[in-house]
Amino acid sequence: MGRLAGSFFNEMLGKSGDVRAPYARIEDWLKQLGRADVRRALEDAEAIFRRQGITFAVYGQGEAAERLIPFDIIPRVFSAAEWRRLSAGIEQRVRALNAFLHDIYHRQEILRAGRVPKDIIIQNAAFVPEMTGVDPARGIYSHIIGIDIVRVAENESYVLEDNCRTPSGVSYMLEDREAMMHLFPDLFARHRVAPVENYPAMLRKTLESVAPPACKGDPVIVLLTPGIHNSAFFEHAFLADEMGVELCEGNDLFVLDGYLYMRTTQAPQRVDVVYRRIDDSYLDPLTFRPDSALGVPGIFDVYRAGRVTLVNAPGTGIADDKSIYTYIPDVIQFYTGEKPILKNVPTWRCAEPKGLSYVLDHLSELVVKEVHGSGGYGMLVGPTASKKEIAAFRAKLKAKPDNYIAQPTLALSAVPTFTASGVAPRHVDLRPFVLSGDQVRITPGGLTRVALKKGSLVVNSSQGGGTKDTWVLED
């Protein structure tokens, strides 16, 4: 395999070209694989994913198109020591984010201390005033978090963004592992790979641990989905099935005498915990959007009364808003008294005149993102953008600067990936999945997304990215 051109960190090859320890046996395996083996494995993997119905929706002109996410069969590998360092930083961040959420919906001490400007909280569309004074079970607001991490050197990683609302992608992590174990059992036999397949059991434990005080006996849990037309519906159905809980739509649930119930073929059943995969504004037409047909009328009042737990809590989006992201290092220090273990990417706030001036002068060098954007949409990657695209984005920035933040183009690490011309380095990021309830549980590994186009830094599936199985080697 050739050296990666440029200055980015190659996770398989060290600076001298030697294979790094976590990849030693992977290199031996790659040498034994012929083109026919690779082609057959990729075909088998595609058949597995088609059989499972794992697709995602690509939104564009007309109807959304359903596609398979490309899967690369070379795993990404972390040593146990590397993972311990990452885990410590992830746990610190998750605890601070939940403390921050509790504070801004209660005493707002961080705002009084001037560490975070009051206006960017109170006037933010992601702030839910109705959550003021609400005390969720165990004080947890964001129970399921996906932290997007990029690596730039052997011992240097950055958090790209926090996903505190309804992070998706865990089904891909689980199915990627299942596919790899099916395709290459001998490769697993040569490594001690930490398991990820117990994630649904860990998720169920976490959901049970945050049942409301009103719950008597074993908690009844449901997963609330917008329905089959949602791009992540496969994941909703998959997780409900794996956890052994009911998959419900809004009209399957109703409120009666101050409690939430599920319709069944027999008597209605009281519900204690709702893992909801619908947005805040659609949750309850009596409290939020009155035109919502996806939610449950009255569910928010039951939640406020402490008779049902909503996972994740409404209003958690304020913690992962990109305008708040720039303050997270201060948030961590304020609530933990510690310096952040994981760094933030240096970020310019376009809402500030100085920040906007710098960004406008350096558009061709920066990545510019919408504050509320996701999925790789609505962003400018300066170094790969045309003059026409940069000019159009300049006009957008001037028209609505507070809608954007900008970051330098990071030299993302790269890992070996199968391409049409053979094995070549491709850039990756990582989304570990974190569960917060009676304790913080971090799945060893997570979802590695890979930019399959040469030189591309955009890993989103909607923009042509793929996925890999992520291995954490046990000591």
Structure tokens at 221: 């849990």
């908690």: which residue's tokens?
219
CA-nearest of 348, 460, 444 to 402 is 348
Does residue 50 belong to any structural domain of this protein? yes
| 106/116 Cα distance (integer angstroms) | 15
- For the chain, how many structural domains are there in total? 2
- What's the pTM? 0.91
pLDDT above 80 for 65? no
Q: How confident is the model at residue 462 (pLDDT cuts 50, 70, 90)?
A: low
Mean pLDDT computed over 24-48:
90
Which uninterrupted H or E stretch holds 233?
helix 233-243
Q: Which residue has the higher pLDDT, 46 or 444?
A: 444
> Among all chains, which residue has been given the structure tokens 């917060």?
436
Look at residue 3 and tell me if it is in a domain: no
**The residue count for the chain:** 475
Q: Lowest mean pLDDT: which of 166-175, 217-226, 298-307, 328-337? A: 166-175
Give the separation between CA 76 and CA 78, rounded to whole angstroms: 7
Domain co-membership, 39 together with 129? yes
Q: What angle do CA 139, 145, 146 make, to 5 degrees?
A: 165
Same domain, 351 and 468: no
The domain boundary residue, chosen from 356, 391, 408: 408
User: Is pLDDT above 70 for 6?
Assistant: no
Assess whether 208 and 354 both reside in one domain. Answer: no
Q: Residue 18: pLDDT band by 50, 70, 90 thresholds? A: very high
Alpha-carbon radius of gyration of the chain? 23
One domain for residues 126 and 189: yes
Angle subtended at Cα 357 by Cα 354 and Cα 359, rounded to the nearest 5 degrees: 110
Mean per-residue pLDDT, 23-33: 93
Q: What is the average pLDDT across 439-462?
A: 88
Residue 5's nearest CA partner among 357, 288, 427 is 427
Q: Which amino acid is at 50?
A: R
Residues 57, 153, single domain; the answer is yes
Indicate whether 397 and 423 sit together in one domain: no
Tell me how far apart the alpha carbons of residues 3 and 15 are, in angstroms, rounded to a whole number. 9
Query: What pLDDT sits at residue 5?
Result: 38
Last residue of a domain, one of 386, 408, 430: 408
Q: Is the pLDDT of residue 47 over 60?
A: yes
Whether 311 and 143 have beta carbons less than 8 Å apart is answered as yes
The domain spanning residue 359 has which CATH number?
3.30.1490.270
Boundary-marking domain end, from 408, 438, 456: 408
Do residue 184 and residue 146 come from a single domain?
A: yes
Q: What sign does the dihedral 418-367-328-278 (CA atoms) show? A: negative
What sign has the CA pseudo-torsion 221, 227, 231, 234? positive
Query: Please, what is the average pLDDT of the chain?
Result: 91
Domain that holds residue 370: 346-408
- Name every residue whose Cβ is closer than 8 Å to that of residue 229 and which is 6 or more positions away in sequence: none
Position 403 scores a pLDDT of 87
In a domain, 197, yes or no: yes
Confirm whether 242 is domain-assigned. no
327 and 355 share one domain = no
With respect to residue 222, please indicate whether it lies within any of the assigned structural domains: no
Q: What is the DSSP letter of 312?
A: S
Q: Which range, 50-59, 165-174, 247-256, has the best average confidence (pLDDT)?
A: 247-256
Q: What does the pLDDT read at residue 64?
A: 47
Residue-wise pLDDT for 84-136, tens only, equals 999 999 999 999 999 999 999 999 999 999 999 999 999 998 999 999 999 99
Cα–Cα dist 180/190, whole Å: 13
Residue 262, amino acid: M
Tens digit of pLDDT for each residue in 364-400? 999 998 887 665 567 888 888 899 999 999 999 999 9
Mean pLDDT throughout 76-80?
97
Is there a single domain that holds both residue 91 and residue 198?
A: yes
140-148 mean pLDDT: 96
Q: 379 and 319, same structural domain?
A: no
Give the lowest-confidence range in 39-53, 258-272, 291-305.
Answer: 39-53
Find all residues with CB under 8 Å of 171, minimum gap 6, and list them. Answer: 54, 234, 235, 238, 239
pLDDT tens digits, one per residue of 425-445: 999 999 999 999 999 999 999
What order of strands is seen across the sheet that includes strand 246-248?
246-248, 221-224, 273-276, 309-311
Whether residues 160 and 89 fall in one domain: yes
Is residue 267 one of the residues assigned to a domain? no
Q: What is the pLDDT of residues 194-252, one digit of tens each?
A: 999 999 999 999 999 999 998 989 999 999 999 998 888 989 999 999 999 999 999 99
pLDDT at position 55: 59
Cα distances (angstroms) measured from residue 262 to each of 70, 85, 100, 281: 38, 43, 33, 21
Whole-number pLDDT of residue 450: 95
pLDDT of 341 over the 70 cut: yes
Distances (CA, A) of 269 to 225, 243, 248, 272, 373: 18, 18, 13, 10, 38
What pLDDT score does 410 carry? 87
399 lies in some domain: yes
Asked whether the predicted pLDDT for residue 170 surpasses 90, the reply is yes
Q: What is the DSSP string of 72-113?
A: EEEEEEE-HHHHHHHHHHHHHHHHHHHHHHHHHTTT-HHHHT
Residue 133 lies in a domain: yes
Token pair in block for residue 33: 């694989």
- Are the beta carbons of 451 and 465 closer than 8 angstroms? yes
Same-domain status, 372 and 468? no
Structure tokens at 292: 């919502």
Examine the pLDDT at 281 and tell me if it is beyond 60: yes
